[in-house]
Amino acid sequence: MRTGLRVSDFLRLKQTNIKEGYFEIETKKTSQNVVIPMHPQVKEILEKRNGFPYKISDQNFNLYIKEISEAVGLTEMVEGSKINPETKRKQKGIYPKHELVTSHICRRSFASNLYGKLPNMAIMAITGHQTEAQFLKYIKITPKENAEKLKAYWQKQQEENGFETLNMKVVK
């Protein structure tokens, strides 16, 4: 969605939320005011359509996102839960991935794809996470991923400076 908004806020966006190239909206769930720069792709879509597309429900958005996910090949079998139409209860099982996808994939992907490219606090200002611990849990960063980031940092440091020339100091 290129906004990081929950679907309930994304689908409420209208022309009055656009101010000088930014979306400004008070979030429904947390009543936080967020300001989000308009991504060039979003701007292009709005210009092409001469405004916002017609409104759809959260439920229809979720149906469409499942169709799109299947069309782009998210068909591998994965463990997850979905509503059993007969019992109307969540049922764990192994399903094609596209059947488990919901609108929330947009919001989590927004945060996950920006992680490590922007300061966490900048992403959190958009997503509305109050603490970094909460944010990291949300994007499901594993200890191995953190270790890989440190490893990459050390490799870059070595390439740029060589370990012998680093100015290290002991902190007591």
List, for residues 44-81, the tens digit of each pLDDT value. Answer: 999 999 999 889 999 999 999 999 999 999 999 999 99
Is the predicted pLDDT of residue 169 greater than 80, yes or no? no
96 residue type, one letter: P
| Number of separate helices (H) and strands (E) present in the chain | 8, 5
Residue 156's pLDDT band (cuts 50, 70, 90):
confident
pLDDT of residue 165: 53
Query: Is the distance from CB of 53 to CB of 32 less than 8 angstroms?
Result: no
pLDDT of residue 108: 92
More confident residue, 107 or 1: 107
Is the predicted pLDDT of residue 164 greater than 60, yes or no? no
Is the predicted pLDDT of residue 101 greater than 70, yes or no? yes
Nearest to 66 by CA among 78, 53, 75: 75
pLDDT of residue 23: 96
**What is the helix (H) or strand (E) element at residue 114, kind and residue range?**
helix 104-114
pLDDT of residue 142: 81
